[in-house]
Amino acid sequence: MEKTVPGDETKLVSNHVLGNAALSTKKERLGDPKLSTAGNRILTCAGEEKRVGTRTVFVGHRPVSETDVYVEQKFCDNRIVSSKYTVWNFLPKNLFEQFRRIANFYFLIIFLVQVIVDTPTSPVTSGLPLFFVIIVTAIKQGYEDWLRHRADKEVNKSSVFMVENAKQVKKHSEKIKVGDIVEVKADETFPCDLIFLASSNDDGICYVTTASLDGESNFKTYYAVRDTTGLRTDDGIDSLTAAIECEQPQPDLYKFVGRINIYRSNQEPVARSLGPENLLLKGSTLKNTKKIYGVAVYTGMETKMALNYQGKSQKRSAVEKSINAFLIVYLCILVSKATVCTTLKYIWQSNPFNDEPWYNQKTIKERDTFKILRMFTDFLSFMVLFNFIIPVSMYVTVEMQKFLGSFFIAWDKEMYDEEIKEGALVNTSDLNEELGQVEYVFTDKTGTLTENSMKFIECCIDGHKYKEGISEVDGFSHTDGPSKYYGKAEKCREELFLRALCLCHTVQIKEGDNVDGLIVNQECSTYIASSPDEIALVKGAKKYGFTFLGHEADCMKVQNQKNEIEKYQLLHVLNFDPVRRRMSVIVKTSTGKFLLFCKGADSSIFPRVQQDEIQQTKVHVERNAMDGYRTLCVAFKELTQEDYKKIDEQLSEAKMALQDREEKMARIFDDIETDMHLIGATAVEDRSWTVSQEYGLIIDGSTLSLIFNPSQDSSSSNYKSIFLQICLKCTAVLCCRMAPLQKAQIVRMVKNTKGNPITLSIGDGANDVSMILEAHHPVNRSPYLCHSGIKGKEGRQAARNSDYAVPRFKHLRKLLLAHGHLYYVRIAHLVQYFFYKNLCFILPQFLYQFFCGFSQQPLYDAAYLTMYNICFTSLPILAYSLLEQHINIETLTSDPRLYMKISDNAMLQWKPFLYWTCLGAFEGLVFFFGVYFLFQNSSLEDNGKVFGNWTFGTIVFTILVFTVTLKLALDTRFWTWMNHFVIWGSLAFYVFFSFFWGGIIWQVSFFFQPFLKQQRMYFVFAHMVTSVSTWLAIVLLIFISLFPEILLVVFKNAKRKNHQTVPFNLPMLLSYKPMENGYISEMKIEDAVTNLTQRCHLRIPQMQQL
Amino acid sequence: MAVNYNAKEEADGHPSGVGAPGGAGKSRKPDNTAFKQQRLPAWQPILTAGTVLPAFFIIGLIFIPIGIGIFVTSNNIREYEIDYTGTDSYSPCNKCLNVSWNSTSPCTCTINFTLDQPFETNVFMYYGLSNFYQNHRRYVKSRDDSQLNGDNSSLLNPSKECEPYSTSEGKPIAPCGAIANSMFNDTLELFRIDNETRIPITLNKKGIAWWTDKNVKFRNPSGNTNNLTALFQGTTKPVNWPKPVYMLDSETDNNGFINEDFIVWMRTAALPTFRKLYRLIERENNLQPTLQAGKYSLDITYNYPVHSFDGRKRMILSTISWMGGKNPFLGIAYITVGSICFFLGVVLLVIHHKYGNRNTSADIPN
């Protein structure tokens, strides 16, 4: 790789290189000659290598040598700015962002047209609602930003301890500069990205949880730089002279390469490699470690956490997609209405006495305008007149419904868990209704179903089965003590196997509070590990007499069956990773033997052991896997002194590398992990697994990888689609022994199928990063539900990274079946209702154009136009969309079939939309023509006086308001006092307002000027209500409008009753899907399955429920 | 305004103050209130055949009589209508058809007609116009309500909405605007012909406008004097008017802006074919009907040109009931809807009865 930078020095450590700040921008030099020559394979990835600049950090700002001038480098300070706005830019920036929303922009355009062109309605009619929406949004966003400011301030002003001149100094967090030495105590959050120098533990280890960064709630182990672990005091750490060379900040949380050069007086500087295990990230929390020292390398907005900060991603639910589709339809209706009117207007006006009769002359200005321009402004005027058909307030109402509605989830006491004192949590109210639409649930069985408790069930050593408790036919009989057993395997093999279990893991011991430090009390010690099955294995070994006692310096202590303590020097560890699917340790026994232990999935172990040993174990592994246990195979290899020396050298070199370190390490281990000897296999049970479910298909990770990454053979390319087809037809598919990445692959695969079904991923926060990331995928979201069985702060933080969190898995039932269903029905109804009520609002106005010479004369008064959506009809639907329970919660929860009825976004498909649109159109026609016929004789009072055009409009409007409100009342199946209050209150308010509005001669003030330049509504309403004919017409027309709906509901109910003998009586929504019975025919699936089995060699033990 | 709490936003341990419900409260246990648990007592009505059937019958039974009542009432209303536009050549008013605004000598014509039946109660005399777009936007807005309300500054500075009828010869027009300018100015007189003698019928010109319009909405400009001529000083008459607004009537309480003919005209009609109240004929005594059956003649001073826009003029005599003028629509609509309701009720009852017997258990629970 050095070839790419010709002439660059290849000397690994050079204080001149490091001391020279100018060189810090130099291209990175990687690897060393040996490594590069050893394997040309490494070079294959050189093309992809992304060269980033490096930075040099001087620990404690101390120059590394007297000969070099210390140059202060400029790095950003440690201030975190998560707020979007400042006082100064709030107004322009916020307005700009708000008008980027298509709806707001539309209303702005309408408003501007009204201001510029002479339009039938004053700018206030559309300006006021827009103003209202903008103000409300701005206040909300301003408040949120203020909270962010406050939180930023709290973080920036929080005190941290730094070591300066061998003294502890307390400072604000924002004052930290790159190179400062920072001290962090237990349970504190790291104030910036730190290179871990020393901890209070002798072994230079600390535990950290990154729950708030990536949602992973387990403890991770970090390692201090080996040569600085001793500097455990302020004085000590202050004496350190070192320089760190590392890459410039990049957002990947799991990647870091760097190098530290430690200078000691009169000695050659020592270089040590730094990796992600040395970098403590800002935002993560120190756990189980009294304190640590670290040197700041990335600060403020350059920390990995800040780089990972993304602004709110605009999330779109299926409902929103439907809204947008409907909006386009209505926009088309709007444009065509305006076009029709404009065309007809000019046809009508071609007759000169229609265009300009003597009683209605144009102004000079009007006459002089070009015809084309006039037509254009006419078109715009019609657009303005009909623009109310696009419901401006719908967005506000939808947002309010989502925001307020989500409170009900958090308030639900049935989803509160007494034990962990947590209720449900909603982090994303955008997707509430999506919970009612979930078609595929992905759940991580390990943690979620079992609540993280795993049990060591059995093991097999050299093909002999060892099982506790139950006597086995082919195995051995059970005796009283767990530490005694009989078996066919040789004693030494058994011991080797158990030692392997005790050594090959990354389990840590959390010490109890009152530990004397020398002997760890077995009773009060707790195992901590990143994966619960590791603990299960260590505990399993303990049952058979081998106890892992923890680390002491670099030794692992194991108590054997004879209660002797054995010590093994831990030389190298290569952690489990999803690609390798195995982990290895190299230890040195007290007798000086070098042993390599390896445990992993059978698929990754079997190819690496002596083939003749496999057969016996394989039988066991497969049977265990089929029973649903998690299986692992254990193998070992003895290394000679010479072998080890070589390996050790290679590994140390690999660890120095600044890039691709893991890959290099893995490659070396790959080379070692051959010709191993298989000792046995283990089976670990998830508790709930025995409470077996009806599953359809079982597939394991290795088979899955075959499907996802088919070999080059052309025939295998369609495995994925066949597999998908089968999966979609099964009620449940079990994927066992999966790598975390495969989880995301599966989710993505299902999500991307036809129709983009809505999926729900469930996990407990541990090992779910890929699922969480998939969930945050901006375009096609899959809500991530966290079931936080974990107590305490970590669990909560993991929960906070999810979209929804419930304390227990069992709460999923109510969350989906009741809350999800209700939210969906509510919001779907809300959306349809909004379009409907605006259609029948505007249709009469459109029809009126045919009778007023297409002159854009509004039918309704400006106040009515403005307030229809804001005041008269807004609250009932909001109350409905918050409180409605068309079926009560108990029934919903107990009958999952009801959930199917709203699947596929059933209530927002084109068919129900068409129904609502027809309903709106029908009602609009009834309103207009009903009143039109009534006005054939406009003397409707008993004193012979006549009504004018404003009375006409007011009658139509009154019928309209009453009809749409009563229509909602008809749809309401759950009348709480609030519904009564809002529905009857709205109508009363309308009546009151109309009296008030027409009851006063308004003194025209500046603000109301455009509203009130005419006193046209003066006593119009009062006169209207004194007319008996009007009353009769209003009652009749309301009834006619609602009649078809009532009839349809009755017929539907009657029809359903005839088909159904089920005793319970449920109101059926009109847009409910008819119940589909059963699943797809058996034949087809079996064909497909056999097809796939033949090709993929799948194991499909059970095909129930198909 | 998306309400979402992005994970990363709170990632650095910020207190979740943004309000994630139940996120970081002191006591996380949700309150056990009916509202929060969505268990508010509620009425849960279900529309079933059982509830709707009786409703249909009841509505049918209510609507049909109402409809019959309205229909009968409407039929009992006497109404007589004469089109006096004069488009037909044999019409007496044909000579006036092409009358124009600036013709100096008035054109008069007389139309004789016969009432077959007497008009017993008070009779209302309307004029009706067709194809006259009083609801045209340019026309509707062409008025200044504050001027009509007696505002002195608006009197001299009419709103620009009145254009092009706001000023004439440099003076502000009072009342300004197209509506006022085009005020109906035919004079209609009614005579009963009794043995070749023409007995004039008293036409009452007061009480034809809305009370609130006459007394509140329309006001003459105020000043020290009661002399309307002085009050309208500085303004000029609408161009189409033969005389200024303060000479509309001889009586002061019906002159100026509060002239009732003017007020009636200013209430713009909803549709291009409309009628407006012109005069009242009050019943003089209980012995005689207001208008006996017999011959009548209508004298028209034909000033108002409608032929140019293909319009029509009518004179309508009508009695009034509690429901207003003659209007068959309401009665027929009520009867139709009531019948449909009743019919559907019967149909549903039959269906329901038939199927209800088939599966007895699932019978209307609510």
Task: Report the C-alpha gap between A277 and A256 in whole angstroms.
Answer: 9
Task: Report the C-alpha gap between A677 and A673 in whole angstroms.
Answer: 10
Residue the block writes with tokens 């497909």: A1088
Task: Report the C-alpha gap between A1072 and A626 in whole angstroms.
Answer: 41
pLDDT at A71: 61
Name the residue with higher pLDDT: A989 or B51.
A989
Q: What's the mean pLDDT when you consider all of chain B?
A: 85
Cβ of A1036 within 8 Å of Cβ of B337? The answer is: yes
pLDDT at A268: 78
Contacts of A1061 in chain B (CB under 8 A): 359, 361-362
Contacts of B21 in chain A (CB under 8 A): 406-407, 409-411, 425-426
CA atoms within 13 A on the CB side of A447: 24
Q: Does the pLDDT at position B18 exceed 90?
A: no
A867-876, B3-12, B177-186: segment of lowest average pLDDT: B3-12
Q: Does the pLDDT at position A765 exceed 80?
A: no
Contacts of B77 in chain A (CB under 8 A): none
Q: Does the pLDDT at position A590 exceed 50?
A: yes
Q: What is the pTM of this model?
A: 0.76
Domain extents in chain A: 90-145+314-393, 159-242+252-308, 451-688, 819-1058
Q: Does the pLDDT at position A1090 exceed 60?
A: no
pLDDT at A38: 32
> What does residue B164 show for φ and ψ, rounded to 5 degrees?
-90, 25
- CB-nearest to B149 from A359, A1001, A1022 is A1001
Query: pLDDT-derived band of residue A989, with 50, 70 and 90 as boundaries?
Result: very high
Per the document, the length of chain B is 366
CA distance B238 to chain A (A): 12
Task: Report the C-alpha gap between A673 and B70 in whole angstroms.
Answer: 101
pLDDT at B363: 37
DSSP characters over A562-581: TSPEEEEEEEEEE---TTT-
pLDDT at A921: 96
Cβ of B17 within 8 Å of Cβ of A151? The answer is: yes
Mean pLDDT along residues A928-932: 96
Q: Does the pLDDT at position A726 exceed 60?
A: yes
Q: Please, what sign has the CA dihedral across residues A144, A147, A151, A152?
A: positive
pLDDT at B1: 35
Contacts of A948 in chain B (CB under 8 A): 267-270
- CB-nearest to A282 from B12, B138, B149 is B12
Catalytic positions of A? 444
For helices A949-971 and A1028-1059, what crossing angle results, to 10°?
30
Mean pLDDT along residues A456-468: 79
| Residue A536 structure tokens | 């299960």
- CB-nearest to A360 from B23, B133, B146 is B133
Q: Does the pLDDT at position B24 exceed 60?
A: no
> What does residue A315 show for φ and ψ, rounded to 5 degrees?
-100, 140
Task: Report the C-alpha gap between B299 and B199 in whole angstroms.
Answer: 12
pLDDT digits (tens, 9 = 90+) for B120-172: 899 999 999 999 999 999 999 899 988 998 888 889 988 888 888 999 888 99
Range among A14-23, A360-369, B212-221 with highest mean pLDDT value: B212-221
Label the pairing between strands A440-443 and A759-763.
parallel
Cβ of A936 within 8 Å of Cβ of B268? The answer is: no
Q: Does the pLDDT at position B357 exceed 70?
A: no
A369-378, A399-408, A483-492: segment of lowest average pLDDT: A483-492
Q: Does the pLDDT at position A1088 exceed 50?
A: no
Element (H, E) at B109: strand B107-115
Mean pLDDT along residues A63-83: 71
Contacts of B11 in chain A (CB under 8 A): 212-213, 283, 305, 308-309, 801
Name the residue with higher pLDDT: A727 or B264.
B264
Q: By CB neighbour count within 10 A (0-12 exposed, 13-18 middle, 19+ buried), where does B60 fall? A: buried
Residue the block writes with tokens 């080996």: A226
Which of A945, A1021, A1039, A1066 would best serve as a mutation to test chain B binding (most B beta carbons within 10 A)? A945
Cβ of B139 within 8 Å of Cβ of A359? The answer is: yes
pLDDT at A700: 66
Residue A800: closest C-alpha in chain B = B7
- A451-688 is classed in which CATH architecture? 3-Layer(aba) Sandwich (3.40)
Which of A157, A359, A1030 would best serve as a mutation to test chain B binding (most B beta carbons within 10 A)? A359
CA distance B248 to chain A (A): 19
Which of B138, B204, B364 would best serve as a mutation to test chain A binding (most A beta carbons within 10 A)? B138
Name the residue with higher pLDDT: B248 or B16.
B248
How many Cβ atoms are within 10 Å of A817's Cβ, its own excluded?
A: 21
pLDDT at B340: 93
Residue B163: closest C-alpha in chain A = A363
- CB-nearest to B277 from A883, A885, A944 is A944
Range among A90-94, A499-503, A839-843 with highest mean pLDDT value: A839-843
pLDDT at A536: 80
pLDDT at A48: 34
pLDDT at A909: 87
A267-281, A511-525, A992-1006, A1036-1050: segment of lowest average pLDDT: A511-525
pLDDT at A724: 81
Cβ of A857 within 8 Å of Cβ of B21? The answer is: no
Contacts of B146 in chain A (CB under 8 A): 1004
Task: Report the C-alpha gap between A598 and A679 in whole angstroms.
Answer: 10
Mean pLDDT along residues A671-699: 69
Query: pLDDT-derived band of residue A22, with 50, 70 and 90 as boundaries?
Result: very low
Task: Report the C-alpha gap between B347 and A460 in whole angstroms.
Answer: 77
pLDDT at A532: 65
Q: Does the pLDDT at position B14 exceed 50?
A: no
Mean pLDDT along residues A491-518: 69
Mean pLDDT along residues A454-473: 68
Task: Report the C-alpha gap between A526 and A287 in whole angstroms.
Answer: 14
Mean pLDDT along residues B200-205: 93
Q: Do the Cβ atoms of A820 and A438 come closer than 8 Å?
A: yes
DSSP characters over A314-334: ----HHHHHHHHHHHHHHHHH
Is A743 annotated in a binding site? The answer is yes
Is A576 annotated in a binding site? The answer is yes
pLDDT at A445: 56
Query: pLDDT-derived band of residue A781, with 50, 70 and 90 as boundaries?
Result: low
Is A446 annotated in a binding site? The answer is yes
A748-757, A874-883, A949-958: segment of lowest average pLDDT: A748-757
CA distance B332 to chain A (A): 11
pLDDT at A1102: 32
Query: pLDDT-derived band of residue A72, with 50, 70 and 90 as boundaries?
Result: low
Q: What's the mean pLDDT when you consider all of chain A?
A: 76
Cα angle A906-A907-A911, degrees, rounded to a multiple of 5: 85
CA distance B174 to chain A (A): 16
Residue B159: closest C-alpha in chain A = A1013
pLDDT at A1007: 54
Cα-Cα end-to-end distance for chain A? 56
Q: Do the Cβ atoms of A771 and A794 come closer than 8 Å?
A: no
Is A810 annotated in a binding site? The answer is no
Range among A70-79, A1051-1060, B42-51 with highest mean pLDDT value: B42-51
Mean pLDDT along residues A961-974: 93
CA distance A889 to chain B (A): 9
pLDDT at B188: 94
Query: pLDDT-derived band of residue A214, with 50, 70 and 90 as boundaries?
Result: low
Select the CATH number that applies to the domain covering A159-242+252-308 from these four: 1.10.760.10, 2.40.50.100, 2.70.150.10, 3.40.50.10260: 2.70.150.10
Q: Does the pLDDT at position B110 exceed 60?
A: yes
Range among A442-451, A690-699, A808-817 with highest mean pLDDT value: A808-817
Residue B164: closest C-alpha in chain A = A363
Task: Report the C-alpha gap between A758 and A441 in whole angstroms.
Answer: 9
Q: Does the pLDDT at position B324 exceed 60?
A: yes
Is A365 annotated in a binding site? The answer is no
Contacts of A430 in chain B (CB under 8 A): 2-4
DSSP characters over A424-448: -EESBGGGGGGGGS--EEEE-IIII
CA distance B226 to chain A (A): 24
Name the residue with higher pLDDT: B320 or A484.
B320
Q: Does the pLDDT at position A353 exceed 80?
A: yes
Mean pLDDT along residues A793-813: 70
**Pick from B129, B336, B344, B101: nearest CA to B238:** B101
Q: By CB neighbour count within 10 A (0-12 exposed, 13-18 middle, 19+ buried), where does A389 fall? A: buried
- CB-nearest to B164 from A361, A406, A421 is A361
pLDDT at A713: 52
Q: Does the pLDDT at position A1075 exceed 90?
A: no
Which of A978, A1018, A1050 would best serve as a mutation to test chain B binding (most B beta carbons within 10 A)? A1050
pLDDT at B139: 93
